[in-house]
Amino acid sequence: MNDEYKKLMRKCINLAKKSEGHVSPNPLVGAIIFDDKFRIISEGRHEKCGENHAERNAVFAATENLKGKSIIVNLEPCSHFGKTPPCADLLIEKGFKRVIVGMVDPNPIVSGRGIKKLKENGIEVITGILEDECKKLNEIFIKNQMEKKPYITIKTATTLDGKIATKTGSSKWITDETSRKEVQKLRNKYDAVLTSSSTVIQDNPSMTCRLKNGRNPVRVVIDTNLSTPPNSKIYENNNAKVIIITGIKPEKKYPKNVEIIKCKLKNGHVDLKEAVSILYKKGIMSILIEAGGILTNAFIQEKLADKLIQFVAPKILADKNAKTFAEGCSRKEIAECNNLIITSTKKLKNDIIIEGIFVK
């Protein structure tokens, strides 16, 4: 039976993923209703922030009586009133006999209460099915709830010897088209994409999401001295907000869709911890960093980055003066390295993707 639950939970996770980019600050949740013979009756997912939760959509999609049926969901059903009524109450009302849960709600205020309410009303609750996979699915939500901070991922594209550009700044293209499509998926997933003023000046990127039906993330530029030209592509109005975080009072005129926020300085540069705090207070729950080596390394050394996603191309630049994805430290011992735990590797057409979690 446990194997059947695992199969259904994987379907839940894949169902939930269809809502990436649309539910923040809420979690990604899928739900599947089934009978004792594991016949699927209906499915549902949380599709958009403010709309029905996954369990409610699964219930409404059903065309038969649900009394005595089971439901599997990757996250504990809610027990409190938010923008929608409690899902636990609905499951009790409909007469479900069993609820299978991937992980407990990480919000300390409500954690375990939905499960408790279900059990008190005679419903069997089974927990911990593919718990690690469920936690990975909602790693952003978990950090938001536990630490009240945005989840920060560094994305980089390098040669085998770790280079992101030649010494003259040439970087198009290190990775292939398949990898670049994967980057578009990441931009659709994260609330904001963040870069440096030097990247804007050097590459003049748009940093939009070019997926069909994709969503442009908020674009954030760390620009201590407001050195970026107002006509840069990144400041164009593409139905997404643009934020410049700077250390000086604005004197240039930027487009109306650009918000300029003055931040305190640290060692002559924008204080990144304060910048991240400002962004979180503005509702940005997740940040994808696509920047040069100096800013990327600053996030690493400040212990602000949670994850690294490195696209590695089968190329060797072999130039000691070429640019690397993390620069700015002078170390003599290997023991001084920043460490990661590798969580996955994936082969694409020509390139590979390495994912790792920073050890803090």
Q: What angle do CA 325, 326, 331 make, to 5 degrees?
A: 145
User: Residue 120 catalytic?
Assistant: no
C-alpha radius of gyration, the chain, whole number: 23
Tens-place pLDDT, residues 147-190: 999 999 999 999 999 899 888 877 788 899 999 999 999 999 99
**Tokens at residue 74, please?**
């990757």
Q: What is the predicted pLDDT for the residue at 81?
A: 66
Q: What is the predicted pLDDT for the residue at 308?
A: 98
Residue 320, H or E segment: none
| Residue 179 φ/ψ, nearest 5 degrees | -65, -40
Classify burial at 321, counting beta carbons within 10 Å of its beta carbon; exposed 0-12, middle 13-18, buried 19 or more. Answer: exposed
Homologous superfamily assigned to 149-358: Dihydrofolate Reductase, subunit A (3.40.430.10)
CA distance 343 to 316: 25
Q: Which residues pair with 346 in a beta bridge?
A: 353
pLDDT band for position 109 (cuts 50, 70, 90):
confident
Give pLDDT tens digits for 186-202: 999 999 999 999 999 99
Class of domain 2-143: alpha beta
Q: Residue 42 pLDDT > 80, yes or no?
A: yes
Query: With DSSP H G I counted as helix, E B as strand and the rest as coil, what are the percentages for the chain, rounded to 5?
Result: 30, 25, 50
Q: Do the two domains 2-143 and 149-358 of this chain adopt the same fold?
A: no
At 9, give phi and psi (nearest 5°).
-65, -40
Q: How far apart are the first and last CA of the chain?
A: 39
Catalytic residue among 4, 20, 47, 55: 55
pLDDT of 248-299, one tens digit each?
988 888 999 999 999 999 999 999 999 999 999 999 999 999 999 999 999 9
- pLDDT score recorded for residue 300: 96
User: What confidence tier does 62 reach under pLDDT thresholds 50, 70, 90?
Assistant: very high
Domain-wise residue ranges, the chain:
2-143, 149-358
Residues 307-357: pLDDT tens digits?
999 999 999 988 888 888 988 888 889 998 899 999 999 999 999 999 999
pLDDT at 210: 86
What is the average pLDDT value for the chain, to the nearest integer?
Answer: 93
Contacts of 224 (CB under 8 A, 6+ apart): 197, 246, 247, 248, 265, 268, 269, 270
pLDDT band at residue 1 using 50, 70 and 90 as cut-offs: low
